[in-house]
Structure 1
Amino acid sequence: MIAFHGMPQADADALRAGGPDAYGLPAEHSVSDGAGNPCRCCLRSIPKGAAMLICAYKPFSANQPYAETGPIFLCAEACENSNAPFPEVLTSSPDYLLKGYTADERILYGTGQVTASGDVAAYAASLLAREEIAFVDVRSARNNCWQARITRR
């Protein structure tokens, strides 16, 4: 069994409180247009007209060659991590880029695959069945933005 995770609640709370993003900058304030603005904390779409933050995010513990950084959206108001079996944000695109990572946060070559939205859970489960894979990151197949992390339940 697998579990989907948004960014850690503490990271989201720090950004909302004005803390620096992955580039040391405060998050930009914006308003959701309702299309394509997935919150990386609650893993739901930010409703049209709702306040949101845009910032750089690096879902890794340290700087290293495989620690990708990219733009994300975040609900400006407090929200909580989703416990949904399959998050809403992973239904807004026809496909996603999945990559398996080792415990030292390195991409395991050969695991990266653009995967249809309906096949995300199955492909992630097949990767996580491999002992050397610690987690799977889901990114936009078109913009490479980090979407969610998948682990063994």
Structure 2
Amino acid sequence: MTLVKPQTHLHVQAIDTGHLDQVRTSGTDGHGNRVRPFAAAGGGGEPLRCCLRYAREGEQIALISYAPLDHPSVWREVGPVYIHVAPCGGYRSAGLPEELATGPRVLRTYRADATMNYDHNTLVADDADLTPIIERLLAEPDVDTVHVRTVVPQCFLYSVTTR
């Protein structure tokens, strides 16, 4: 008999605003890189991990290094992410972020102990709606969190849980 977790609403987590406040205040990303502001080109090229939307032309943004797993782990990866240079309010909506809610994407699954669950990692190769795919993954009894990533560079976009 397979146990199925009861489904609840999706909880989307952008980069923590406290972490971003520290980066903005210190002027470094904590991985040895200075925050270097530049004007966004716009047109859907820079997905912002602070507010989970694409940068608008001319907005002041920066490319920093970020590790979505903040504790010692063999699955801890540091990678590039775009953020607003000034505080923007973060992501506060229900459900997946509208501008980053479709594929193509890589969905990496993690167990409750933060170990990667390779059995459920998923490639969404087309422009499919990610919501039902993520709901299905999070309904698996051995999946606690889904990291949504870009396909080619596999950069972290946001994480999703049901709590």
**Quick check: TM above 0.5?**
yes
Match 1:28 to one of 28, 36, 58: 36
Alignment partner of 2:91 out of 79, 82, 87: 82
Distance 1:53 1:12, change over 3 A: same
Task: Tell me the equivalent position of 1:46.
Answer: 55
Provide the residue aligned with 1:55 in structure 2: 64
| CA deviations over 1:93-116 (Å, ceiling 9, x no partner) | 741100110122211012111114
Q: Distance in 2 between matches of 1:121 and 1:136?
A: 11
TM-score normalised to structure 2 length? 0.84
2:10 counterpart letter in structure 1: I
Count residues with an aligned counterpart: 152
Percent of paired sites with the same residue: 25
Q: For residue 135 of structure 1, report the CA deviation from its aligned partner.
A: 0.7
Q: Structure 1, unaligned stretches of length 5 or more? A: none
User: Take 1:121 and 1:140, find their aligned partners in 2: how far apart are those partners?
Assistant: 16
Q: Which moved more, 1:126-135 or 1:51-60?
A: 126-135
* Deviation of 1:19 (Å): 4.7
Q: 1:131 to 1:94 in 2, by over 3 A?
A: closer
Aligned residue in 2 for 1:123: 133
Mapping for residues 11-26 of structure 1, pairs under 5 Å: 11-26=19-34
CA RMSD of aligned residues (A): 1.8
For residues 31-53 of structure 1, give each alpha carbon's deviation from its aligned partner in whole angstroms, at most 9, with x where no partner exists: 21113111101112221111111
Of the three residues 98, 105, 112, the one matched with 1:103 is 112
1:34-90 CA-partner distances (Å, limit 9, x unpaired)? 131111011122211111111110011223221122100001121122233221341
SS in 2 for 1:124: helix
The answer as to 2:127 corresponding to 1:132 is no
**What is the letter of the counterpart of residue 23 of structure 1?**
H
Distance 1:48 1:72 in 2: 17
Corresponding residue SS for 1:98: strand
Give the letter aligned to residue 107 of structure 1.
M
* Mapped contact 1:22–1:58 kept (Cα < 8 A): no
The reply to whether residue 5 of structure 1 matches residue 5 of structure 2 is no
User: Which ranges of 4 or more aligned residues in structure 1 deviate by more than 4 Å?
Assistant: none
Q: How far, CA to CA, are the matches of 2:98 and 2:19 in structure 1?
A: 20
Kindly name which structure, 1 or 2, has the bigger radius of gyration based on alpha carbons: 2
